[in-house]
Structure 1
Amino acid sequence: MGTENADDYLMLSGIQHDFFCKRQWALIHIEQYWKENELTVSGNILHKKVDQPFLKERRGNKFFSRAIPVISHKLKFVGKLDMVEFHKDKNGVEINGEKGCWKPIIIEYKNGKPKIYDYDRMQLVAEVIALEETLKVDIDKAYFFYNDIKRREEVIVTDDDRNKVLEASKEMMKHFNLGSTFEGESHKNCSKCSLIEYCMPRVTKKKKNIDNYLERFLL
């Protein structure tokens, strides 16, 4: 797969920021602002243990490769995968330096535990799309490994997931090209964000109902 215009592509990992908070994504990827906190530091430590591109493990009819570079021209994303587990499979693809055909399964490492929101999932789906393009193979599932629970969580990749990622990637590229940053909004997760002091999210309050106000204080 060629890498034409790859210098103009966005970082694949940014889609997780975009689904978590669009303003956070814009501050990091458009304004190039970043600050560490306890959560980001612990995440970096976890990924440093995983992202060792020259380390390959083999167990029976499968092997593991780490820090694999990928590119998606459909999404206009470039990135690096934590780990891909290759299983020997006649319906898989040929891999340089390996005999036979292999089926790839992405393993994405995350701090914490499974989330009820989509932002981790959408990053994993984007990784699947990028690896499919890179290796010219169909992939229907992938896994998270959450550090707090020390086990894998399977994710089945649906057409709806793929469409969400594709639409998000178009919006991200549009805003990146315009250089426009989203306005801030107050959210319960703001306190966990390392950029909160720079972001200064807008505090929104529910407007008082004038009739209730008059009834309570004047009648």
Structure 2
Amino acid sequence: MDSGERDDIIMISAIQHHSYCPRQCALIHVEQQFSSNVHTARGDAVHARVDEPGWETQPGARVERALPIWSDRLGLAGRCDAVEFRHDGSIYPVETKHGPRKAKVHDDLQLAAQAICLEEMTGKPVPRGAIYHHTSRRRREVAITDALRHQVEEITVAVRGLLASGRLPLPVNDVRCKECSLKDICQPEALMAKPAQISLLSSLFVPD
């Protein structure tokens, strides 16, 4: 990909962040804010190995780690924790997450975005991949469905619009906030505590 030909490249991680919470996505990718908590610290520890580029052979596959990927069509870029190039010709991305084996749609969307990039790069279909849950040491296979692909494309458009606007969406102040490392920066309870504040925030964040 000649990334110099466009200036609106979106990181694949933004797809995951936006699907979890648009405000979190804006804080990270618009305002360049980031903070650590126990969850992100565990994630960093888990990724210490997979973030190192390299390759290895396993029974039936060559495994590339920290592989750069992109999609010119969607304007996406990022890297895969691991991609298994199997001897039968199939391609199988594997994304590592800390925590127990539990389905999370924002993780599945990140994997789907990786699959879309790999398909464009290789010209081969990538119908499935896996999330490796480090705590349980188990994989959860994910089918890269048409529905997931469509969501990736919709969210890519939404993220691009969010980045272009430079504005922060309103806080959600729901169960997602409990585990978010940006909670202290976002301050969802304080900002959404009173109707008057909600009204003021809404007027502040309406596009010109």
**Shorter-chain TM-score tier:** 0.7 to 0.9
Asked if 1:131 is matched to 2:118, the reply is yes
Counterpart of 2:192?
203
Asked if 1:52 is matched to 2:41, the reply is no
Which of 165, 169, 183 is the aligned partner of 1:182? 169
CA distance in 2, matches of 1:42, 1:84: 22
Gaps of 5+ in 1: 90-101, 207-219
Does the 8 A contact of 1:12 with 1:123 survive in 2? yes
Counterpart of 1:85?
84
Identity, in percent, stands at 34
* Cα deviation, residue 163, structure 1: 0.5
* Cα deviation, residue 9, structure 1: 0.6
Counterpart of 1:22?
22
Does the 8 A contact of 1:15 with 1:169 survive in 2? yes
Counterpart of 2:8?
8
Residue-by-residue CA offset, 1:160-207 (whole Å, 9 max, x unaligned): 11001100100100111121211112111212111111101143689x
CA distance in 2, matches of 1:173, 1:114: 31
CA distance in 2, matches of 1:133, 1:50: 23
Could you state the TM-score of these two structures normalised by the residue count of structure 1?
0.82
Residue-by-residue CA offset, 1:19-77 (whole Å, 9 max, x unaligned): 111100100000111111111111011111112213x2113431111000011122211
More helix, by proportion? 2
Does the 8 A contact of 1:16 with 1:122 survive in 2? yes
Does the 8 A contact of 1:6 with 1:78 survive in 2? no
CA distance in 2, matches of 1:67, 1:15: 18
Range with greater deviation from structure 2 (45-54 or 27-36): 45-54
CA separation of 1:2/1:136 partners in 2, compared to 1, >3 Å: closer, same or farther? farther
Given residue 178 of structure 2, which amino acid in structure 1 is its aligned partner?
S
Residue 81 of structure 2 aligns to a residue in which SS? strand
Count of residues in correspondence between the two structures: 193
Counterpart of 1:192?
179
* Cα deviation, residue 7, structure 1: 4.9
Counterpart of 1:75?
74
* Cα deviation, residue 4, structure 1: 4.2
CA separation of 1:6/1:152 partners in 2, compared to 1, >3 Å: closer, same or farther? farther
Does the 8 A contact of 2:94 with 2:130 survive in 1? yes
Residue 18 of structure 1 aligns to a residue in which SS? helix
Residue 67 of structure 1 aligns to a residue in which SS? strand
Structure 1 segments, 4+ long, off by >4 Å, are none
If you compute each CA radius of gyration, which structure gives the higher value, 1 or 2? 1
